[in-house]
Amino acid sequence: MQSTDDVLVSYNPANGDEIGRVRMTSCQELDRIVADARAAYRDSGWQSLLPHKRALILHAVADGLTAEKESLAKLQMRDNGKPMGECLGMVDSAVGTFRYYAGVCETLETDVTPSRGDYVSFTVLEPYGVVAAITPWNSPLMNDATKVAPALAAGNAVILKPSEDSPLLAPELMRIAREAGLPQGQLQVVQGRGADIGAALVEHPDVRMVSFTGGTVAGRVIGRTAGERLIPAALELGGKSPHVVFADADREHAIAAVVAGIFGSAGQSCVAGSRVFIQHDIYDEVLERIVERASALRVDFPDVDGVEMGPLSSLHHRRRVIDFVDRARTEGGRILCGGQIPDDPRFAAGAFYLPTVIDGLSPRSRTCQEEAFGPVLVALPFDDEIDLVEKANDTDFGLACGIWTENFKKAWRIGRALDAGSVWINTYKQSVTSTPFGGFKDSGIGREKGIDGLRLYAQVKSLYLGLHEQPMKIAK
Ligand code: NDP
């Protein structure tokens, strides 16, 4: 993405072609958009619509996404370079999310609480009003849906701010939602740089809740502003997830999962298993097989049949990955494969980078501590459970982890001991809308998905209904 003062230009990272332009939202426009969202929240009737009718419209959004699955997937593929198969999966995921929250919206029950006097007390959920949803570039439609569907289901008006690096999907979602019958103003999109329009959105006095997915640095800034303003902030942030292979693991499955867990989406996934911990006795053998597989991965254009890894999302993001690997070299890392741009001239204009595996580093090195958000795996040996837990938890992050062992009791112990919001035992990177997702430590605050993914966008109100037979007296 390059930009002039008020236009964002999106380039296909596979070949450098321009694929679209969007106008950046000015601060004056932001005021109008927030005012429209407030008006929609107050007057459109969306929040008072009976839940099963609101659910019908959410289902209609899912139908609209399904009808345009192919073209939406292609748009994402061109916008951020992910292989077409993955992009089709992302549309399916967005469809599933809208259907799931249609279901939750229709069936969610609130509580009648036990009485301690002459009254009945119960709780209801109220929307916040105008919610800001800020999303990153790696899986735009899927991340947008994870926020927009539950926030709408809870009755809010939503202002969606996509990344300046993937601005093309959010307007499509807004259009499809309008065509599905969502009232005007209930879902709007603002475009521009995070530090400008994103920050202005979070600071806007009429925005009453913010839901953010992105890096820890921006997450901290947003959390600080939300704290000052005393509005809730849900933060889904980065990771440096450990993927653990014990000596008793099913090696075939473990090695395949380690490779898929880091090189899927070219490593541009918050839950990428970017640190592989291999037990000492099998370290050399397993690492050699991982390197063999990584070197054989088919890096190609994202629309080619059989592609396993496409380009990175932009040339400037590739620059960050190149710098990351250069620093690993200066820290003393051994580059076992990759560590460079492919030399095939077909890829010259794209943001391609080879799958990279590094070892020989201290677990405290910056390479092992910081997120590359690219196809870079660091390998680390461990002796036993105690050594593993100490090393794997010795990071600021706590998003996810993978554990490979045939011993279930050990898997349980390690799964409980590691700092991670999601633990995958003998599998990796599974994600389902019905299961909560979020991070420990610097990987975030709050949980998206699941039934509580709707409660995230609602505030609890308690009501008391008097049943007094006698006039009330002042308590003595
Ligand atoms: P960023 O944090 O840079 O940006 C995320 C979004 O926030 C973008 O829309 C960005 O806009 C916006 N933004 C940036 N700064 C501010 C600010 N001060 N105020 C308001 N909005 C702001 O992350 P990336 O887009 O580079 O995404 C990569 C990061 O996202 C990685 O760390 C990754 O781990 C994390 N991530 C986490 C996930 C999770 O669920 N835990 C899922 C996917 C990614 P703009 O791009 O226009 O600057």
Active site residue 87: no
Residue 46: closest CA among 168, 153, 197: 153
**Atom of ligand 1 at shortest range from CA of 222:** 19
90 CB less than 6 Å from ligand 1? no
What separation in Å is there between the alpha carbon of 142 and the centre of ligand 1?
Answer: 14
In whole angstroms, what is the distance from residue 376 CA to residue 360 CA?
Answer: 14
Task: Give the pLDDT of residue 388.
Answer: 98
What separation in Å is there between the alpha carbon of 218 and the centre of ligand 1?
Answer: 6
**Ligand 1, atom 18: nearest CA belongs to which residue?**
195
In whole angstroms, what is the distance from residue 195 CA to residue 204 CA?
Answer: 14
Give SS3 for 300. Answer: coil
In whole angstroms, what is the distance from residue 157 CA to residue 229 CA?
Answer: 19
The runs of H, that is alpha helices, within 297-397 are 315-330, 366-369, 385-392
392 CB less than 6 Å from ligand 1? no
Task: Give the pLDDT of residue 328.
Answer: 98
Q: Which domains, and CATH codes, for the chain? A: 2-237+443-463 (3.40.605.10), 242-425 (3.40.309.10)
Task: Give the pLDDT of residue 379.
Answer: 98
Average confidence (pLDDT) over 331-356? 97
Task: Give the pLDDT of residue 110.
Answer: 87
Average confidence (pLDDT) over 461-474? 94
In order of 249, 282, 395, the CA distances from 418 in angstroms are: 18, 22, 11
In whole angstroms, what is the distance from residue 55 CA to residue 51 CA?
Answer: 6
Residue from 168, 213, 224, 318 whose mutation best tests the ligand 1 pocket (most atoms within 8 A of CB):
213
Residue from 8, 27, 134, 441 whose mutation best tests the ligand 1 pocket (most atoms within 8 A of CB):
134
- Give the phi and the psi of residue 298 in degrees, each rounded to 5: -85, 105
> Residue 291 has which token pair?
């390197």
Task: Give the pLDDT of residue 57.
Answer: 98
Average confidence (pLDDT) over 231-240? 98
46 CB less than 6 Å from ligand 1? no
User: Above 90 in pLDDT, residue 125?
Assistant: yes
Structure pTM? Answer: 0.96
87, 371, 448, 449: the catalytic one is 448
**Atom of ligand 1 at shortest range from CA of 317:** 26
236, 371, 401, 449: the catalytic one is 236
How much is the mean pLDDT over the chain? 96
The percentage of the chain sitting over the pLDDT mark of 90, rounded to a whole number, equals 96
**Atom of ligand 1 at shortest range from CA of 136:** 25
pLDDT class for 475, splitting at 50, 70, 90? confident
In whole angstroms, what is the distance from residue 202 CA to residue 232 CA?
Answer: 11
Output the DSSP codes for 77-100: HHHH---HHHHHHHHHHHHHHHHH
The percentage of the chain sitting over the pLDDT mark of 70, rounded to a whole number, equals 99
Q: Which residues contact 350 (CB under 8 A, 6 or more apart)?
A: 13, 14, 15, 16, 81, 301, 311
Active site residue 147: yes
Strands 275-279 and 376-382: parallel
Look-up of token digits 């590094």: 358
**Ligand 1, atom 30: nearest CA belongs to which residue?**
214
In whole angstroms, what is the distance from residue 137 CA to residue 165 CA?
Answer: 6
Task: Give the pLDDT of residue 4.
Answer: 57
Task: Give the pLDDT of residue 115.
Answer: 87
What separation in Å is there between the alpha carbon of 39 and the centre of ligand 1?
Answer: 28
Average confidence (pLDDT) over 20-27? 95
Cβ(223)–Cβ(445) below 8 Å: yes
What separation in Å is there between the alpha carbon of 463 and the centre of ligand 1?
Answer: 38
**Ligand 1, atom 46: nearest CA belongs to which residue?**
163
341 CB less than 6 Å from ligand 1? no
What separation in Å is there between the alpha carbon of 119 and the centre of ligand 1?
Answer: 48
User: What is the per-residue pLDDT across 238-296, written as a single tens digit (0 to 9) for each?
Assistant: 999 999 999 999 999 999 999 999 999 999 999 999 999 999 999 999 999 999 999 99
Average confidence (pLDDT) over 179-204? 98
User: Above 90 in pLDDT, residue 1?
Assistant: no
Active site residue 409: no
88 CB less than 6 Å from ligand 1? no
pLDDT class for 5, splitting at 50, 70, 90? low
Residue from 82, 93, 131, 138 whose mutation best tests the ligand 1 pocket (most atoms within 8 A of CB):
138
Task: Give the pLDDT of residue 406.
Answer: 98
User: What is the per-residue pLDDT across 288-316, written as a single tens digit (0 to 9) for each?
Assistant: 999 999 999 999 999 999 999 999 999 99
Strands 334-337 and 209-213: unpaired
87, 161, 164, 270: the catalytic one is 270
User: Above 60 in pLDDT, residue 360?
Assistant: yes
144 CB less than 6 Å from ligand 1? no
What separation in Å is there between the alpha carbon of 212 and the centre of ligand 1?
Answer: 8
Task: Give the pLDDT of residue 126.
Answer: 96
Residue 193: closest CA among 173, 215, 165, 169: 165
In order of 271, 350, 354, 391, 412, the CA distances from 374 in angstroms are: 11, 15, 10, 22, 30
Task: Give the pLDDT of residue 3.
Answer: 56
